[in-house]
Chain A
Amino acid sequence: MRIEEDLLTVRHAVRAATLRAGFSIVDQTRVVTAASELARNAYIHGGGGTVTIDRLTLGGSAGLRLTVKDEGPGIVDTDAALADGFTTGAGLGHGLGGARRLMNDFELHTVPGQGTTVIATRWAGR
């Protein structure tokens, strides 16, 4: 992701992946919305970055793992960043915490000065 149009490309790719994984329409919407929040964070706060989509299977159920990585300034206070209402950008402050609620598993790794990586997974029907 380097330009704004790339955010739409991310949404399209994630939507296509949720369809291929057989996600319900509600799960599709959850995952695409979470991807939109995370990609926007990486674009605005991280100065761009990469999104990787991995298809997972576990005991016959399908999952999707999003890895959103930037090399921006990092997040100094992760607890605050995950709290609703906290924003340093153009959003509502629900982006990171909201994305965590929309996914089943959520990992946030950040190193000040070196960047941020979010790994978020959603399983179909869970």
Chain B
Amino acid sequence: MSAPASGGVPILRLGDVLVTGLLNELDDTTAVAFTEELTSRISSDGARGVLIDISRLEIVDSFVARTLMELTTMARLLGARVIVAGMRPPVAITLVELGIQLTGVETALNAEQAMAAMGWHQSLQPAGGGPG
């Protein structure tokens, strides 16, 4: 399931969903490499969905926001749906104050809910349940 790194950001494949997570230190060079790698992987893997986990991002400035919006648009052009998951609450507050709405970007509270939205479901837990 593992894949070549793109600017240090690994892209995994689960069925027809690509799973990736942005690291804390997203700089311009990494963002460009990541965008190129992700779009080529969507095509070569025939991905219908992309999950981008951003729970490790400590800030989302206008540059990172623009990267996420462009990725979403590019993926849509290739026929894939992007869900950005796991934004930290302080990051959400700051984004709103910055005046950025991440227009067109679908979001989810966490990676698990994003995967469920894309049709992946947790298998039933044994009697008694598990810790989620």
Contacts and interface: CB of A to CB of B under 8 A. Distances in A.
Bind each other: yes
Interface of A: 4-5, 7-8, 11, 15, 25-26, 28-30, 32-33, 36-37, 40, 84, 90-95, 97-99, 101-102
Given A36-B59, A90-B66, A92-B62, A29 B94 contact: yes
B94 A33 contact: yes
B45 interface: no
A11 B24 CA distance: 11
A111 to B, nearest CB: 25
20 contacts: A4-B27, A7-B27, A8-B27, A26-B89, A26-B94, A28-B90, A29-B88, A29-B94, A30-B94, A32-B59, A33-B59, A33-B60, A36-B59, A40-B61, A90-B66, A94-B62, A94-B99, A95-B62, A98-B98, A102-B98
Majority-rule SS of B interface residues: helix
Given A26-B90, A91-B62, 20 more contacts: A7-B27, A8-B25, A26-B94, A28-B90, A29-B94, A30-B94, A30-B97, A33-B59, A36-B63, A37-B62, A40-B61, A40-B63, A90-B28, A90-B63, A93-B62, A94-B100, A95-B62, A101-B98, A102-B97, A102-B98
A78 to B, nearest CB: 17
B54 to A, nearest CB: 13
Instruction: Give 6 nearest A-B pairs by CB, closest first.
Output: A98-B98, A29-B90, A92-B62, A36-B61, A91-B62, A26-B90
Q: How large is the interface on B (under 10, 10 to 19, 20 to 34, 35 or more residues)?
A: 20 to 34
A38 B91 CA distance: 17
Nearest to B69: A92
Majority-rule SS of A interface residues: helix
Contacts of B61: 33, 36-37, 40, 95
B29 A4 contact: yes
Most buried by A among B25, B59, B62, B66: B62
A97 B99 CA distance: 9
A4 B62 contact: no
A106 to B, nearest CB: 13
B1 interface: no
B119 to A, nearest CB: 32
A90 B35 CA distance: 15
Given A4-B28, A37-B61, A40-B63, A92 B94 contact: no
B16 interface: no
